[in-house]
Each structure stands twice: as structure tokens, then as C-alpha cells.
Amino acid sequence: MSQHLSSREISQWMIDERTPQQEQHVRQCPECGAELARMEAALTLFRGSVRRWSDGQRRAEPPASGSILPARRGFWAQPLGWALVPATLLVLAAVPVYRNVQDRQRQAEAARADALLLEKVDAEVSRAVPRPMEPLVKLVSWDFSSTDGRDEKTRNEEIR
């Protein structure tokens, strides 16, 4: 192999993709050797600079595991716990109001039912003839004027 390594071949070399011919060429070619050394030196510098940058940060120091795991806080230490207090009070205050409304509705219904019953009783009491005797009333009517269309004189003649 007499040609110098191409840019692609140098990149492939850096990821350990190389042929024995290329290895032999690099051993003999100062230019290719220098280019590979330049590349390796830049990457080594980069590695060192990242590490130094990171190591210089306060946050690079391992924290205590307690600060990583969320603390198991008590019920009252949680915002939800405090939010439940007014909600519970609201429910407790609303229960008697709701019950009161229900009681009133029930009383009103009972009063309406009583009124209906009384009306029925009134209707029964105010009948001229008891219900069982109603068929007889149809047979014998005392109110002639209302049973058929004939006048009193005609009926009297019929009786005689």
C-alpha cells in the first residue's frame, strides 16, 4: 500500500477498523502516523478537558442517598393533607343542610298525601247515597226531572 490514508480511512482507524496493509503503511509513513497522532491527541485532550470540567463542579460530588430518594413525609406535611381539611369541613357542614332539605321534602309529600286522603274522605262522607245502594238509586229515582225528558203532568197521568 503506497497511498496515504484517506480522511475516511483515518476515521475508520479511530474505531479500530483497519487492515494489515494500512497498519504496515502507517508504520512506514511519517505523514499518516503524524495525522493519526494529531487526531488521537485531540481526542485525548477532549477527554481530559471534559473530566476536569466535570470534576471541578460541586455537583459532581456524590450526594447522600437520602437526598435522592423522596422523603416519606407525614400526612400533615403534605399539601394534600392540608387541602383535605377544608374539604372535610365543607362536607360536614353540607350534610345537615342536605338532611334538612330532605326532611322538608318528606314533610311536604306527607302533607300532600294527607290532603288527598282527606279529600277522598270528604267525597265519601258527602255522598247522598252510600256506594252499595247506588244501583237501587238507578232503579228508583226520586228526582224525576233529572231522570228522563218527560214532564210531571205526563208522569202523573201515567200513574193514574
Partner 1 sequence: MIAAVERPPSEIDDLDTVVRLHWPRVFRFALASLRDLDAAGSVAQDCFLRAYRSRERFRGECSIEAWLMRIAVNLIRDYARNRRLQFWKRAQASAVDLNAVGQWVPDGGASPESGAMAREQLAAVWNAAGGLSERQRTVFLLRFVEDMDLLEIAAVTGMKEGTVKVHLFRALQAVRERMGRPE
- By the criterion CB under 8 A, which residues form the site for partner 1? 7-8, 10-12, 14-17, 34-35, 38-39, 41-43, 45-55, 57, 59-65, 67-70
Q: Min. distance of Cβ 2 from partner 1 in angstroms?
A: 21
Angle between helices 30-55 and 20-28 (to 10 degrees): 100
As measured in angstroms, the least distance from the Cβ of 21 to partner 1 is 19
In the bound state with partner 1, the residue whose beta carbon lies nearer, of 73 and 127, is 73
Nearer to partner 1 among residue 11 and residue 141 (C-beta):
11
Burial of 13 (C-beta count, 10 Å sphere; 0-12/13-18/19+): buried
Shortest Cβ distance from residue 73 to partner 1 (Å)? 16
Q: Between residues 14 and 115, which has the closer beta carbon with respect to partner 1?
A: 14
Secondary structure (H, E, C), 42-89: HHHHHHHHHHHHHHCCHHHCCCCHHHHCCCCCCHHHCHHHHHHHHHHH
Least separation in angstroms between residue 99's CB and partner 1 is: 47
**Integer Cα distance of 29 and 19 in angstroms:** 15
